[in-house]
Amino acid sequence: AQSVTQPDIHITVSEGASLELRCNYSYGATPYLFWYVQSPGQGLQLLLKYFSGDTLVQGIKGFEAEFKRSQSSFNLRKPSVHWSDAAEYFCAVGPGGYQKVTFGTGTKLQVIP
């Protein structure tokens, strides 16, 4: 069965610092991978997705993620964090069928001045 692990429950970074959120997945074939962000009181917004091709994926709001098959990882990065990036981030994996998308438990990002 597919699964997603986000090992960091909570991360605190200073505004302007770089950010990397970890995501490890378990899936038997090439997965579809997603990162979503959930701001307080809001629904989930898609940041980026990987289906195939270039393993470095660019998303909205200056985020990028890199698919590393050898490490079963899809880490999310941003070179310089803004206070408005404070939110919860969810990694998700699926085989291409929406019914089977599995979400990680989320990483809550706090940004300090």
Residues that bind other proteins (CB under 8 A): 32, 34, 36, 41-46, 49, 51, 90, 94, 96-99, 101, 103-106
Q: How far is the CB of 106 from other proteins (least distance, A)?
A: 6
In angstroms, give the least distance from the CB of 14 to other proteins: 26
- Using the minimum distance from each CB to other proteins, give the nearer residue, 28 or 97: 97
Least CB distance to other proteins at residue 102 (A): 8
Q: Kindly tell me which of 39 and 80 has the beta carbon lying closer to other proteins.
A: 39
Q: What is the DSSP string of the chain?
A: --EEE---SEEEEETTS-EEE--EEE-SSPPEEEEEEE-TT--EEEEEEE-SS-SEEE-GGG-EEEEEGGGTEEEEEESS--GGG-EEEEEEEESS-GGG-EE---EEEEEE-
Q: How far is the CB of 18 from other proteins (least distance, A)?
A: 25
Q: Which residue number, 85 or 106, has a Cβ lying nearer to other proteins?
A: 106
